[in-house]
Amino acid sequence: MVVWDRSSLNDEQIEAVSEPESVFLVACPGSGKTRTLTYKVASELEKLDSHRKFVAAITYTHRAADEIEERIAAMGVDTSQLWIGTIHSFCLEWILKPYGIYHPELEHGFRIMDSHDTETALTELCAAQSRPSITYFDCDYYFTDSGIRFGCRDAAKLPNVRRVLQDHFEAMRAAGQIDFEHILKYAYELIRDIPAISEVLSKVFTFIAVDEYQDTKQIQYSILGSIIKAAGGSCRTLIVGDPNQAIFTSLGGYAISLKDFRSIVGIPVKPLALSRNYRSSERIIEYFGRFNVHGTTIVSASDEATYPSQVTFDDQTTRKNLEIEIARLIRYNVQDLGIAPDEICVVAPWWVHLAHLTRNLVALMPEFEFDGPGLVPFSRDIDNFWFKLAKLALTEASPRMFVRRLRWAGDILNDLDMAGIDTSRITRRSLLRESNSIDPPENEGLDYLRSYYRTLFARLDIDYSQYKTLQDHYNAFFASSQARISRLVAEGAPYVTDVAMFRRVFRPRSGITVSTIHGIKGAEFDTVIAFALLDGMVPHFSDHDQLDGAKKLMYVIGSRARKNLHLIAERGRTKKGNWPDYDTSVPLKALKFAYDR
């Protein structure tokens, strides 16, 4: 039985875990959201009275799923009847795989399209368009239950975007391929057109938890809501998130209201809140609280509440001197403030800002390690089968990693099954045993992975070249990885080819983190250094809600910091054409705050 005391959960958390009805939980930053969700899921698992019943937990990322499952297992709770993963994985496993044959576009089978192949195909189609020119980045889209929505906000470009996506979708259908957005589309259409699917799943799941609800898409609410509603009260839910951190609106995510959520699920839902921040000092909370769009309550409860935090804002440093200034701030935090390097994060709005900067910081500060996009030596395509398998190849077989690696092995077996391979003779544990026994002699990272893959599949007696999905993913993984490595070597980083650099990708962070604002959601650091805080970047110029969008991004940046926060809106970032240089993001420029020098 799951038990807790005052040292495990506070009053608000206990109420959320103990509540017998469904719960709509608004959680401020640092309030123990993941802990509460973990205890709630563990508690629901303990209530199961049949081996045919399951608890589901829908997470935004695979990493979050790994963390929550590991925490539950560490509590001594059996996770064999827990299904945990992203909404895309849920739709694949529980809807498309068993019921896809009833959809006219899936009845002959389907293959998941690798994102590298998607980018390549869209880039070629974009190049063939007449003016105005468009790129792959203009072609973002997502589905709602009423049709397609385009990420591109430029009305002049939209006709070309529509043509490109129409041609792309037709090519996908002809090849029997689907991408991740179509996983949701087809799952929704199956649920909508065949009510029996919701009825069956409503008898399988007694409880469905949804993490980061503010990043959930409307079509995802419809899919899960249909299952919960069909149960007539026998399947309950907890959805948890923070509407102030809804920064994925351009991808379709939005913070649903309690009223609308109740309407979708058709059962009583109790509103609750987690208001105690255990992460940040009072000064940090005071700062990011200035960007609190939804007026949620945030109370300082950290052991470091009275820490004399430094909050600085610099709008004088030029782009030319940016890396020197960031290096100075890093050294100041380490040498003068006693902050550990792996508790420092450098953050910017876009990946394009980070790769070159990361490599320059490595050159400027050889005494420190960095974890950032400019140092990832191979294609980090989380949807690619061979990327998933690389996680097993490049991580150590240790007790600390066992639960996580066992979960990864399960993902590998699911993908093999999806590719049409009989995996009935392979278990997760036997796959791990085979993987753990392989130690290729190659020192070059890509050669090491080729040798590992070849050896593993020989031992499994599987010829992956005979399966188109696996072969397509293999070619895409190594083509994109080689292109990435060639570029890094040409830019002065020859060391990236070494297998030791490959292993660093999946290690717990060991150096200064370099990431985007979106990439650090859910993370926390003693010190956060943010740059490029400029209008048109915070938020992106295409964001339809500029002011609130900027506030939410500033809220996310500030709420990642425990002790110190350094903000930079550098001068000299130019725009195309004759437009003036980028200026400071509007809400940051307007904010009156007693910054430290």
Contact at 8 Å (CB) between 255 and 213? yes
pLDDT of residue 92: 94
3 confidence band (pLDDT: 50, 70, 90): low
- CA angle (580 as vertex; 314, 354 as ends), nearest 5: 50
Tell me the two tokens of residue 335. 């040498």
Domain boundary among 214, 239, 274: 274
Tell me if 288 is assigned to some domain: no
4 confidence band (pLDDT: 50, 70, 90): low
pLDDT of residue 61: 87
355 confidence band (pLDDT: 50, 70, 90): confident
Domain boundary among 125, 152, 175: 175
| Same-domain status, 123 and 227 | no
Give percent of the chain with pLDDT exceeding 70.
98
Rounded to 5 degrees, φ, ψ at 119 are: -60, -40
What angle in degrees, to the nearest 10, is found between the helix axes of 11-18 and 33-47?
A: 30
Count of structural domains within the chain: 4
Mean pLDDT of 165-181: 94
Instruction: Tell me the C-alpha to C-alpha distance, in Å, between residue 453 and each of 33, 424, 438, 504.
Output: 38, 20, 10, 19
Tell me if 595 is assigned to some domain: no
pLDDT of residue 242: 97
Q: Which amino acid is at 557?
A: I
Tell me if 435 is assigned to some domain: yes
Residue tagged 């970032």 (tokens): 573
Max Cα separation, the chain?
Answer: 68
Mean pLDDT of 322-351: 96
6 confidence band (pLDDT: 50, 70, 90): low
Tell me if 5 is assigned to some domain: no
Highest mean pLDDT among 113-127, 308-322, 572-586: 308-322
Mean pLDDT of 115-130: 90
| Same-domain status, 454 and 585 | no
Contact at 8 Å (CB) between 478 and 452? no
Residue 513 pairs with which residues in a beta bridge? Answer: 345, 371
542 confidence band (pLDDT: 50, 70, 90): low
| Same-domain status, 225 and 305 | no
pLDDT(557) > 80: yes
Contact at 8 Å (CB) between 40 and 238? yes
The whole-angstrom separation of Cα 529 and Cα 568 is 8
Contact at 8 Å (CB) between 385 and 421? no
pLDDT of residue 579: 83
pLDDT of residue 1: 65
Q: Is the full-model pTM beyond 0.85?
A: yes
pLDDT in tens, 492-518: 777 889 998 899 888 777 789 999 999
Give percent of the chain with pLDDT exceeding 90.
77
pLDDT in tens, 441-452: 999 999 999 999
The whole-angstrom separation of Cα 570 and Cα 582 is 9
42 confidence band (pLDDT: 50, 70, 90): very high
pLDDT(134) > 90: yes
pLDDT(381) > 80: no
| Same-domain status, 333 and 308 | yes
Tell me if 302 is assigned to some domain: yes
| Same-domain status, 15 and 136 | no
pLDDT of residue 529: 98
Q: Which amino acid is at 528?
A: V
pLDDT of residue 5: 66
Q: Which amino acid is at 49?
A: D
Structural domain of 144: 111-175
pLDDT of residue 144: 94
Domain boundary among 502, 534, 561: 502
Mean pLDDT of 144-153: 91
| Same-domain status, 511 and 498 | no
Tell me if 291 is assigned to some domain: no
| Same-domain status, 65 and 196 | yes
CB atoms within 10 A of CB 41: 28
| Same-domain status, 510 and 574 | yes
pLDDT(372) > 80: no
Tell me if 472 is assigned to some domain: yes
- Which of the 8 DSSP states describes residue 100? G
Mind spelling out the 3-state secondary structure of 496-547? HHEHHHHHHCCCCCCCEEEEECHHHCCCCEEEEEECCCECECCCECCCCCHH
Helices and strands (DSSP H and E) totals, the chain: 22, 18
Tell me if 339 is assigned to some domain: yes
| Same-domain status, 90 and 127 | no
| CATH number reported for the structural domain that contains residue 28 in this entry | 3.40.50.300
| Same-domain status, 92 and 62 | yes
| Same-domain status, 77 and 145 | no
| Same-domain status, 82 and 210 | yes
Mean pLDDT of 250-279: 95
pLDDT of residue 575: 86
- 203-217, 251-265, 344-358, 450-464: least confident range: 344-358
213 confidence band (pLDDT: 50, 70, 90): very high
Mean pLDDT of 159-175: 95
pLDDT of residue 569: 98
Average pLDDT, the chain: 93
pLDDT(22) > 90: yes
pLDDT of residue 326: 98
